[in-house]
Amino acid sequence: MHHTHKEIELAERHTLSIIVDNEAGVLARVIGLFSGRGYNIEHLTVAPVDLQGTESRITVVTIGTPPVIEQIKAQLDRLVPVHRVGDLTESGPHVERELALIKIHCKGEQQQAALRIAEAFRAKIVDSSFESYIFEVTGKTDKIKAFIRLMEDVGLVEAVRTGVAALTRGAQAL
Amino acid sequence: MSGKAYSGAEIIINSLVDLGVEVIFGYPGGAVLPLYDALFAQDKIRHILVRHEQAAVHAAEGYARSTGKVGVVLVTSGPGATNAVTGLTDAMLDSIPIICITGQVPVHLIGSDAFQEADTVGITRHCTKHNYLVKDVDKLSRIVHEAFYVATSGRPGPVVIDVPKDIQIFTSTNIHSGAIKHRSYRPEVKGDISAIKEAVEILAGAKKPIFYSGGGVINSGPAAAQLLREFVRLTGAPITSTLMGLGAYPASDKQFLGMLGMHGTYEANHAMHDCDVMVCVGARFDDRVTGRLEAFSPNSKKIHIDIDRSSINKTVRVDVPIVGDVAHVLEDMLKLWKAAILEKGQQSYADWWAEIDKWRERDCLRYAKTKDTIMPQYALERLQALTKDKDVYFTTEVGQHQMWAAQYLKLEDPNRFMTSGGLGTMGYGFPAAIGVQIAHPNALVIDVAGEASIQMNIQELGTAMQYGLPVKIFILNNEYMGMVRQWQEMNHGARYSQSYSESLPDFVALAKAYGAHGITVDRPADLDGAIREMMETDGLVIVDCRVEKLANCFPMVPSGAAHNEMILPDEEEIKEFEGGAALV
């Protein structure tokens, strides 16, 4: 999508929650809408959330000017298998978390540094060998990014992130 | 539920009968043979065999748009489905309810690059309102019913049902009947009453109001057009229409300003630009309508009625959005308006009409009359004059002739003008005319064509002849892809790159080759006679009407220009607007 300078300045980050029928092709419909109309996807998570497995919840973090965000929601809402579209950024306080696995390769002093950082970030060791660790860390996107950045200096091998999962605060559902 | 087991193919045919389908447009192939076998065994549904799958969809569109019913298409897997894609996209952009059943390779072969396999649901995901791949015959009956609900409710559109060949053969006792409710898809038809109240208040305070109506009025049904007429007449305000909305309000009415937009009238575009309240009824602020967005009707309050929430604030910010079906919303508006008049009295808008009459005096559709060559505008004026008392339906192809048709055919009723508005599909008009003629066998159905467009689905002459359809093809032959040539003249230094229609067929001989009648006319004096001969001849007629080759379509709002920066025919000085050459 073509962005003017003004559009980039006014762009906002929004976390959208989309309840969909858990049917074949539904994710392709949602992603296809974003790519076909030139919208951005920063994060995407999807999994069935009810016991019967009939409904899935998709969380999308997207960036756009307020009219574009409005359009994204309206376009999502008219997809046939979409039940509800919620804008968590707009609807008020909400909790956002993502999980990351980070593999590092290090020895000696670097190893001590890695463990100290991991402790500060409340990361768990989920795999270790003589010269490597895999850490599991959860938190907001900023925290995950900061953790990965620090690990680059002590021997980052690779990292994987789940993308954001989010819920509104309080007793209300979407 | 019934105890009897039916094959998937029988379930599809029986479901279509249950849903009131009388006609299918299609083309057989390997992956739909069980379905064609089931068709063979029944006599409730008529099958129209086209010569190319794209034409099947356009024919179904013509059928749907001229009747308000659903158009049904049946094609095979692979190339059958991919050939249908243009038609589906066309129906998507013009919101036409279509059910397209595509064959697919058997379930166990899906994904193996089998013969005539294509990922039909993947390919058509972006050009349908919804699509289904049926992998369980027990769900088939429900899916067909659900597909109808989705295609026809809310903003209508095309729905594909992809049915693997083995599913057509497997049997099931699961039979659904009657209406269906979808789990998640339930569009609202009633508009929010507080928004409608606000709209009526704003309109009641207007000094320079205008109605701008679109295809949504026609899609909503005859009641919507009736309500629109009543409401507009009651207000005394001017009304303009998009290409897709023509006929919803009678063109002969003095309140009607003609079509607006790129080739709209001078009065319609100036009134849109200068109005203080705009009521957009079932239209979507398409770029062909708005011109340069920042300069679009800068001083008006905008009220927008649309059944599709995503159409609202998509390109133009509006002040009062009303999401709902046009007929339902207009009914509520009309009630509130009547109450408002009782209270405050009716405004006359005399000053506003005086302004509009000045614009009208420009007589923007005037053109230079010629003695030796037929002006395309003149041809359409005569076509209009000689057919106006008939039960007539028009379709068009795409290009200059289409815009002239929109300008010079004065359409009085909805569902009488079938044209490819959103996608601009050359080759739409003739197959669409076939669909219209199937639905209205005794009507006069005329495809206004260009010599280039008509060749894009010329093979359908076979279809029309097979079913004895007396479609009239009226070709405005200027030996150019006229609109391409006009843009090359305006934006590309008159370098006519590839826009000359070289090696044209002899259209009269072509008609004869199919057993139809052909007429050539090239002198203004002979035009009326040719049109009469066309109308009086039973059966299919091609009129090769040779027109002035370099005529341009005006008025015009060039790309990148605003509504009040139109080019008129008598000041044919061609201005270029900044960035115009880069725009479409």
A59-99 pLDDT per residue, tens: 999 999 999 999 999 999 999 999 999 999 999 899 999 99
Same domain as B386, residue B335: no
In a domain, A33, yes or no: yes
Quick check: is B116 catalytic?
A: yes
pLDDT beyond 60 at A2: no
Q: How crowded is residue A67: how many other Cβ atoms within 10 Å of its Cβ?
A: 14
In a domain, B537, yes or no: yes
Q: Which residues in chain A are closer than 8 Å to B185, comparing Cβ atoms?
A: 80-81
Rounded to whole angstroms, how far apart are CA atoms B141 and B175?
Answer: 6
* Confidence band for A138, pLDDT divided at 50, 70 and 90: very high
Please write the tens of the pLDDT for every residue from B116-157. 999 999 999 999 999 999 999 999 999 999 999 999 999 999
Same domain as B353, residue B385: no
Quick check: is B369 catalytic?
A: no
Query: What is the edge-to-edge ordering of all strands in the sheet holding B71-75?
Result: B46-49, B23-26, B71-75, B98-104, B158-164, B130-133
Tokens of B126: 């972006």
pLDDT beyond 50 at A1: no
Report which DSSP code applies to B91. Answer: H
Q: Which residues in chain B are closer than 8 Å to A21, comparing Cβ atoms?
A: 183-184
Q: Which domain holds residue B159?
A: 6-172
**Å between A68 CA and nearest CA of chain B:** 8
The whole-number pLDDT of residue A4 equals 53
In a domain, B573, yes or no: no
Quick check: is B198 catalytic?
A: no
Is A91 near chain B, with CB under 8 Å? Answer: no
What CATH number does the domain containing B515 carry?
3.40.50.970
Same domain as A64, residue A119: no
Q: How crowded is residue B156: how many other Cβ atoms within 10 Å of its Cβ?
A: 25
Q: How crowded is residue B468: how many other Cβ atoms within 10 Å of its Cβ?
A: 11
Please write the tens of the pLDDT for every residue from B24-34. 999 999 999 99
Same domain as A98, residue A86: no
Tell me what percent of the residues of chain B surpass a pLDDT of 90: 91
Using DSSP, state whether B280 is helix, strand or coil.
strand
pLDDT beyond 70 at B575: no
Report which DSSP code applies to A122. Answer: T
Determine, for residues A82 and B184 on separate chains, whether the beta-carbon distance falls below 8 Å. Answer: yes
Q: Least CA distance to B184: which residue of chain A? A: A83
In a domain, B21, yes or no: yes
Determine, for residues B125 and A29 on separate chains, whether the beta-carbon distance falls below 8 Å. Answer: yes
Q: Least CA distance to B316: which residue of chain A? A: A67
How many domains is chain A partitioned into structurally?
Answer: 2
Strand partners of residue A158: A103
In a domain, B579, yes or no: no
Determine, for residues A78 and B130 on separate chains, whether the beta-carbon distance falls below 8 Å. Answer: no
The whole-number pLDDT of residue B132 equals 98
Please write the tens of the pLDDT for every residue from B389-442. 999 999 999 999 999 999 999 999 999 999 999 999 999 999 999 999 999 999
Q: Of A29, A32, A78, which is closest to B308 when you measure between CB atoms?
A: A78
Q: Which residue in B62, B53, B17 sits closest to B32, CA to CA?
A: B53
pLDDT beyond 60 at B452: yes
Q: Which domain holds residue A16?
A: 5-91
Q: How crowded is residue A54: how many other Cβ atoms within 10 Å of its Cβ?
A: 12
Q: Which residues in chain A are closer than 8 Å to B183, comparing Cβ atoms?
A: 21, 83
Same domain as A35, residue A85: yes
Q: Least CA distance to B156: which residue of chain A? A: A78
Which one is catalytic: B92, B104, B129, B165? B165
Report which DSSP code applies to B137. Answer: G
Strand pairing class (A94-105; A156-161): antiparallel
Same domain as A100, residue A81: no
Same domain as B384, residue B520: yes
Quick check: is B170 catalytic?
A: no
Rounded to whole angstroms, how far apart are CA atoms B361 and B210?
Answer: 19
Q: Least CA distance to B150: which residue of chain A? A: A80
B343-351 contacts, C-beta under 8 A, 24 or more apart: B344/B204, B346/B235, B346/B236, B347/B204, B347/B206, B347/B207, B347/B236, B348/B236, B349/B207, B349/B208, B349/B209, B349/B236, B349/B237, B351/B207
Average pLDDT, chain B: 95
Same domain as B485, residue B341: no
Strand partners of residue B547: B374
> Span B533-546, mean pLDDT?
98
What CATH number does the domain containing A26 carry?
3.30.70.260
In a domain, B241, yes or no: yes
**Å between B121 CA and nearest CA of chain A:** 9
pLDDT beyond 90 at B577: no
CB under 8 Å to B347, separation ≥6 — which residues? Answer: B204, B206, B207, B236
Using DSSP, state whether B144 is helix, strand or coil.
helix
Side-chain half-sphere exposure of B498, counting CA atoms within 13 A: 0
Among A75, A91, A107, identify where a domain stops.
A91
Q: Least CA distance to A21: which residue of chain B? A: B184
Rounded to whole angstroms, how far apart are CA atoms B518 and B510?
Answer: 8
Using DSSP, state whether A54 is helix, strand or coil.
coil
Please write the tens of the pLDDT for every residue from A48-62. 999 898 999 999 999
Among A37, A59, A91, identify where a domain stops.
A91
Same domain as A144, residue A82: no
Same domain as B133, residue B238: no
Is A125 near chain B, with CB under 8 Å? Answer: no
The whole-number pLDDT of residue B370 equals 86
The whole-number pLDDT of residue B341 equals 86
Q: Least CA distance to B151: which residue of chain A? A: A80
**Å between A82 CA and nearest CA of chain B:** 6
Rounded to whole angstroms, how far apart are CA atoms B387 and B184?
Answer: 47
> Span B88-101, mean pLDDT?
98
* Confidence band for B578, pLDDT divided at 50, 70 and 90: low
Same domain as B382, residue B353: no
Which one is catalytic: B42, B44, B115, B188? B115
**Å between A166 CA and nearest CA of chain B:** 22
Residues on B contacting A at a C-beta cutoff of 8 Å: 121-122, 125-126, 129-130, 133, 150, 154-155, 182-185, 308-310, 312-314, 317
Name the packing angle between helices B524-536 and B376-387 (round to 10°). 40
Determine, for residues A25 and B185 on separate chains, whether the beta-carbon distance falls below 8 Å. Answer: no
CB under 8 Å to B269, separation ≥6 — which residues? Answer: B260, B261, B291, B555, B557, B563, B564, B566
Same domain as A101, residue A84: no
Quick check: is B165 catalytic?
A: yes
Cα Dmax for chain A? 57
In a domain, B570, yes or no: no
Q: Of B125, B314, B317, which is closest to A32 when you measure between CB atoms?
A: B125
Q: Which residue has the higher pLDDT, B162 or A10?
A: B162
Residues, chain A? 174
Bond preceding residue A66 cis, omega within 30 of 0: no
Which phi and psi angles does B237 have, rounded to 5°?
-85, 160
